[in-house]
Amino acid sequence: MSTSTRAGLVVENPASGTVLRTVPLVGPAQVLETVRWARAAQPAWVALGFPGRAAIMRRAQRWILDNAERVISTVVSETGKTYEDAQSTDLAYTVQALSFWAAHAERYLEDERLRSFSSPIVAGKRLVLRHVPIGVVAVIGPWNFPLVNGFGDCIPALMAGNGVILKPSEVTPLSSLLMVEMFAECGMPRDVFQVITGEGSTGAALINCVDAVMFTGSTRTGRLVARAAAEAMIPCHLELGGKDPMIVCADADLAKAAQAAAYYSMNNAGQVCTSIERVYVEAPVYEEFVQRVVKIVGSLRQGPPTGPGTVDVGAVIFGPQLEIVERHVNDALVKGARALTGAHARAGQGRFYEPTVLVDVDHTMDVMREETFGPVVPIMRVSDVEEAIRLANDSPYGLQASVFSRDSARGEQIARRLEAGSVCVNSAQLNYFALNLPMGGWKASGLGARHGIGGIRKYCRTQSLFVSGFGPRRELFMFPYRRRVTRMILRGLRLLYGRGSRR
């Protein structure tokens, strides 16, 4: 949590309430200056070439592992998440992403030679598609994964040859600042990568002076970012909220499905854009599934993390989020839901919400419709898979979904009918670690995707080269126009394209 004073942003540990540090509150004039520095530094960064940039990323990868305790403790201190959540996501993803983009950027962005078969007029010409770094990219990140969602997007943007300005959430800026230190030690030229700390207005000012923006956060702010990007006429890529459904078929391995439901709804205290936020279970296995989930969730340990293996569920990172979680659970209880575990903010030190399993839920309740983003798993009985699919798709969001069935082919058939950018069969969230597989939302969950070939090309402009070598001085269609030639061209067009159907 942070509060702003004239001196800057005060960063707090949400698990203990202690003040960690004050960081600068960067204003619009300074934002402009920062972008100018990045513009000045960017040409030399491009000139370094892919191997030069990859070498720095590989050094950074090594640096993170050499400094793993420091990286994890920084993430844990400003988020109040568990040691394991910081290690298995923020740390593990970052080293993997540094390695992945260092290895693949050059191949993903190499010139493409296209065949000149589309028309006789272009036959024999050289057609080349280039991917040119766009210039200076703004990455605006949220507070749930300070390294994955903010810094992680900087890596492909940098490997493409751009200058990058990262604006982390005001709540969690310290991990991003550590990355500046890391890159400096790893030989990154000055000003290529910069972090500006500030509030929403700092992010808004940044959009006005960069060449592209990658934003992760709420759908509400995402819409503001898209509007600002439209005004600035720059591309924007948005990864927004989700309300990810899980479907449990009657033939599912229930032990596996229950473990997944408990883990992927409670890891990072449910503050994951791809959290399982609602579960639909076929009636014959509903009771057993609920019992299994309650047994796991009911035994989870919660509290301020004091090292590896000490707690399972960490803090609510952002103060106002606790109110959202409480509002959703209370709304459900008033409308007839039952809580089988939790359903309270935890008394005592820090900001925690008890791991909560809700049953007897339906789509009149906010907890089944809006992003809760907390340690809450509502489970709904459905008569069959058709009803589950209909309810899963009954959402303004479409980020991710998961399906559990022992018959993975049938699971895949169900997955294909779900309105979501990514669907996992017999797992959840793990697709995020398949960095060659695009990940992006449908509907109100976003625009564009991260990862895969598009996950780096989006930080480039394309340039099409049309190169003519030898050829006639005067093309047949050029001046002066002559009746005979005009007729001949029409005959040629009929010969080439005249076989289309008249019906």
Using CB under 6 A, list all residues that contact ligand NDP: 140-144, 149, 167, 169-171, 199-200, 203-204, 216-218, 221, 224-225, 239-241, 273, 318, 321, 324, 371, 373
Question: From the CB of 197, what's the least distance to ligand NDP, in Å?
Answer: 8
Q: Is 239 a catalytic residue?
A: yes
CA distance 276 to 260: 9
d(CA 101, CA 107): 10
Among candidates 383, 278, 366, which has minimal Cα distance to 325?
366
Which among 73, 266, 245, 320 is positioned nearest to 175, based on CA atoms?
73
In degrees and rounded to multiples of 5, residue 366 shows phi and psi of -55, -35
The secondary structure element, H or E, covering residue 386 is: helix 385-393
Q: Is 273 a catalytic residue?
A: yes
The answer to whether 289 and 247 are in contact (CB under 8 A) is no
- Catalytic position from the list 239, 282, 354, 370: 239
Minimal distance, residue 10 CB to ligand NDP, in Å: 13
Tell the smallest beta-carbon distance from residue 224 to ligand NDP (Å).
Answer: 4
According to DSSP, the residues that pair with 166 across neighbouring strands are: 139, 195
Which two three-digit tokens encode residue 411? 């699971």
Q: Is the dihedral of CA 250, 254, 257, 262 positive or negative?
A: positive
Report the distance separating Cα 307 and Cα 441, nearest Å.
34
Question: Per the residue annotation, which of 209, 249, 273, 424 is the catalytic one?
Answer: 273
162 or 169: whose CB is closer to ligand NDP? 169
Query: Smaller CB distance to ligand NDP: residue 56 or 214?
Result: 214
Between 161 and 441, CB nearer to ligand NDP: 441
Coil, strand or helix at 78: helix
CA distance 343 to 490: 76
In angstroms, give the least distance from the CB of 496 to ligand NDP: 50
Give me the least distance between CB of 54 and ligand NDP, in Å please: 28
Closer by beta carbon to ligand NDP, 156 or else 241:
241
Nearer to ligand NDP, 246 or 249 (CB): 246
Residues with catalytic roles? 239, 273
